[in-house]
Amino acid sequence: MAEALRIEARDDRTLVTLDRPAVRNAIDQAMVDELHAVCAELETSPRVLIITGAEGVFASGADIRQLRDRTADDARRGINSSVFRRIRELPMPVIAAVDGYALGGGAELAYAADIRIGTPRVRMGNPETGLGIIAAAGATWRLPEIVGHARASELLLTGRTLDAEEALAWGLLSSLHEPDELIGAAHALADRICTNGARATELTKRALLAPAGQHPAIELELQAELFESDEKHRRMTAFLERRAQRADASKQTEAPKQPEPSKKPEGESR
């Protein structure tokens, strides 16, 4: 039984809610272990993953009580980094639905998602240097990919926190929604994703995550697989049939042209 997470599994998606509201959903070892268990399931049964937080907070960061006692060996094990990388590499897209604080490790968890949406209450940033450590769970390399090197440097070196409008303007969030509409908006994104070809979606994500040196070869190889798939043939056939039906319907609804009035020969009297 999960204790740090609430998990709602459907056929095509899984909703995970970080659920330690007493500590603003701080990420502790139990939560990391439970997130690994979620990843293990989604690696074998790929579904869209939505991650959010309980009671108006995404995640306030790593649990400082545990973090304070971690050693150099713990740092090298990459406790948070390993699970965030695993989330990032899940076969199907990951959506972070962010409300309230997403700080430190909470921000790095959001950075690991493919799509991030939020509310006007979002406060996002990496204050790690103020605690005498660095953002070592993905921020130093994921954040520049998202917002560019200059803005990532400002955020990480100053430790300041962005509000929702700044996060939207910087591209950390793709849209803002009222708090009571946030999960609905995340499900709407999942609905759109799930109407598409599942394998095509997986391979699109794989291409997006591939290093620059693998392009364009990786797109060509992945496309080669899809070109031979039954799904491609079925979907394209259905598309052509719908287009033909629309064309036929359009012809049938066109109003018949009215005959032009006959002209009397010149010089004819009335």
* Residue of 96, 48, 53, 84 whose CA lies nearest to 196: 48
Name the token pair of 73: 């060996």
Separation of first and last alpha carbons in the chain: 97
* Residue of 128, 130, 135 whose CA lies nearest to 108: 135
* Residue of 95, 98, 119 whose CA lies nearest to 107: 98
Q: What's the chain's average pLDDT?
A: 94
pLDDT at 249: 87
pLDDT tens, 69-96?
999 999 999 999 999 999 999 999 999 9
Burial 54-63 (b: 16+ CB within 10 A, else e): beebbbbbbb
Chain-centre distance of CA 265, in angstroms?
73
Q: Given CA atoms 19, 32, 151, 202 in this order, what sign does their dihedral have?
A: negative
pTM, to two decimals: 0.90
**Could you tell me the strand order of the sheet in which 115-118 lies?**
5-9, 13-18, 48-53, 94-98, 115-118
**Of the options 3.90.226.10, 1.20.140.10, 3.30.2130.10, 1.10.760.10, the CATH number for the domain spanning 5-195:** 3.90.226.10
pLDDT at 270: 42
pLDDT tens, 28-72?
999 999 999 999 999 999 999 999 999 999 999 999 999 999 999
pLDDT tens, 155-165?
999 999 999 99
∠ CA 176-167-78 to the nearest 5 degrees?
115
According to CATH, where is 3.90.226.10 located in the chain?
5-195
Please give the C-alpha separations between residue 8 and each of 13, 38, 51, 59, 168, in angstroms, as whole numbers: 9, 11, 11, 19, 28
* Residue of 64, 81, 164, 88 whose CA lies nearest to 124: 164
Name the token pair of 208: 């997006």
Active site residue ranges: 108, 128
Q: What is the DSSP string of 111-130?
A: HTSSEEEE-TT-EEE--GGG
